[in-house]
């Protein structure tokens, strides 16, 4: 099917809810970073680790053993596999070809339909978020899911599915973070804005913070790329809701943000894990940390530093535990839409670059991509 001219429902926003006040002491937001400030004298070097001259990927995941994975969402007509392992520079379908052989008309319950993210944990599993929204449309035949793969056996260990009240047909699940210590996972929903809380033991789930302004992109912020506004085919601004997500090393806080503004938020995870708490209590518990960057993904290291991108400045940025901000790398040629992040055990930050702003959807059906799509790493 042709998807280039589709009106992307996840970028449509009907309004912004008035801001709430946190019930906890709010952090003092730092000054917005100066994009023209000089980089550190010892700025890390970008190293390319994978490139694809045909297919657009989004996620990146590195296992503790150094295995590298990426995923290809079914957005455009040019699509083959959904999840692959990179072996000697080649993309190998993962965990097998059967999971990657979905065709429209099939039910998609035990195949990947439109995979948005891959995350490798420290317990030997790969977590795969299948939003199942072909072309960013509605969920295909209730086939959205989270798939857990055992990396030792390369076998699917469990499939998590969601009721319509949590992730219905208009939901686009985006990214996931897993907390084995407490047995929960957290996902962002980019379409309608909100956080999905998943009990890994029972499979029960809950959709929270939908009524919070923290999950909705601020319409007053106008994101720009390469000298022009980021707009849809009809000229209206693109606004993408809750997207990036990260867990602090102690698992006490969940950080998250909408994509198309520069605000950053957090909430204590023990509140999210308590399914008996009313939604209003959760909304009131959100902390607004202030203005930072327009990032897609994000990741914490073991020291509590948060790594994000700056989409508008083609940069990788480090946010320290005291909320200081430092640009690590700026590269307008190669860091074109830094998308997803993974930190390896040997101290490298991996980042995928997806050139989303150059897609036909945002350029009058003209594909302005400059191939290839690339995955880089830098030494932290």
Here the tokens at position 188 are 């962002």
pLDDT of residue 227: 85
The C-alpha atoms of residue 107 and residue 129 are separated, in whole angstroms, by 17
pLDDT of residue 251: 98
Q: What share of the chain is helix, strand, coil (3-state, %, to 5)?
A: 10, 35, 55
Is the distance from CB of 258 to CB of 279 less than 8 angstroms?
A: no
How many Å separate Cα 67 from the centre of its chain? 20
Neighbours of 65 (CB within 10 A): 11
Here the tokens at position 33 are 């970073």
pLDDT tens digits for range 1-59: 444 334 344 343 333 333 333 334 333 344 444 444 556 666 789 999 999 999 999 99
Question: For 149, what's the count of Cα atoms within 13 Å in the CB-facing half-sphere?
Answer: 24
Instruction: Read off the DSSP letter of residue 281.
Output: H
Q: Whose CA is closest to 132, among 26, 285, 244, 10? A: 10
Q: Whose CA is closest to 256, among 220, 215, 284, 209? A: 215
In order, the DSSP letters of 116-166 are: EEEEE-TTSEEEEEE---GGG-S-STT--EEEEEETTTTEEEEEE---HHH
Question: 43: Cβ–Cβ under 8 A, 6 or more apart, which residues?
Answer: 328, 329
pLDDT of residue 234: 87
pLDDT of residue 262: 97
Question: 56: Cβ–Cβ under 8 A, 6 or more apart, which residues?
Answer: 72, 73, 75, 76, 78, 354, 355, 359, 369, 373
pLDDT of residue 325: 97
pLDDT of residue 226: 83
In 8-38, which positions are buried (b, 16+ CB within 10 angstroms) versus exposed (e)?
bebbebeeeeeebebeeeeeeebeebeeeee
How many Å separate Cα 300 from the centre of its chain? 14
Here the tokens at position 64 are 């503790």
pLDDT of residue 24: 40
User: Is residue 367 helix, strand or coil?
Assistant: coil
Here the tokens at position 38 are 């000089």
Dihedral angle computed from the Cα positions of residues 255, 213, 328 and 312, in that order, rounded to the nearest 10 degrees: 150
User: Is residue 15 helix, strand or coil?
Assistant: coil
pLDDT tens digits for range 314-365: 999 999 999 999 999 999 999 999 999 999 999 999 999 999 999 999 998 8
For the chain, 380 residues long, the average pLDDT of each consecutive 10-residue run is 40 34 38 51 87 98 98 95 98 98 97 98 98 97 98 98 97 98 98 96 98 95 92 90 98 98 98 98 98 98 98 98 97 97 98 97 93 98
pLDDT of residue 30: 43
pLDDT of residue 37: 54
Q: Please, what are the domains in the chain?
A: 9-14+39-379 (2.120.10.30)
Cis amide linkage into residue 155, ω under 30° from 0: no
* Tokens 């035990």, residue located: 110
pLDDT of residue 158: 98
């Amino acid at each position: 099917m042709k998807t280039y001219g589709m009106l992307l429902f996840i970028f449509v926003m009907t309004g912004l809810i008035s801001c709430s006040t946190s019930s906890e002491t709010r952090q003092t937001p730092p000054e917005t970073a100066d994009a023209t400030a000089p980089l550190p004298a010892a700025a890390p070097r970008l190293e390319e680790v994978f490139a694809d001259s045909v297919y657009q990927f989004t996620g990146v995941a590195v296992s503790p053993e150094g295995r590298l994975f990426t995923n290809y969402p079914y957005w455009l007509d040019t699509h083959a596999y959904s999840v692959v392992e990179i072996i000697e520079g080649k993309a190998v379908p993962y965990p097998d070809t059967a999971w990657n052989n979905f065709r429209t008309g099939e039910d998609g319950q035990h195949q990947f339909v439109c995979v948005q993210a891959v995350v490798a944990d420290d317990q030997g599993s790969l977590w795969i978020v299948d939003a199942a929204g072909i072309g960013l449309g509605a969920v295909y035949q209730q086939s959205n899911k989270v798939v857990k793969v055992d990396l030792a056996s390369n076998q699917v260990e469990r499939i998590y599915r969601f009721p319509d009240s949590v992730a219905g047909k208009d939901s686009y699940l985006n990214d996931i973070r897993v907390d084995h210590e407490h047995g929960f996972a957290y996902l962002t929903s980019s379409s309608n804005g909100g956080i999905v809380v998943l009990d890994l033991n029972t499979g029960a789930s809950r959709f929270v913070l939908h009524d919070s302004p923290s999950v909705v992109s601020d319409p007053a912020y106008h994101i720009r790329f390469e000298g022009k506004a980021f707009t849809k085919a009809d000229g209206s601004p693109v606004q993408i809701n809750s997207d990036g997500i990260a867990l602090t090393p102690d698992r006490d806080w969940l950080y998250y943000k909408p994509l198309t503004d520069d605000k950053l938020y957090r909430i204590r995870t023990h509140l999210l894990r308590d399914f008996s708490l009313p939604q209003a209590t959760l909304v009131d518990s959100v902390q607004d940390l202030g203005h930072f960057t327009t990032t897609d993904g994000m990741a914490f290291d073991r020291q509590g530093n948060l790594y994000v991108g700056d989409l508008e400045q083609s940069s990788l940025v480090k946010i320290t535990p005291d909320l200081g901000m430092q640009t690590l790398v700026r590269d307008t040629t190669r860091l074109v839409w830094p998308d997803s992040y993974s930190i390896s055990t040997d101290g490298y930050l991996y980042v995928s670059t997806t050139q989303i702003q150059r897609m036909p959807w945002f350029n009058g059906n003209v594909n302005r991509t400059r191939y290839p799509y690339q995955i880089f790493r830098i030494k932290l």
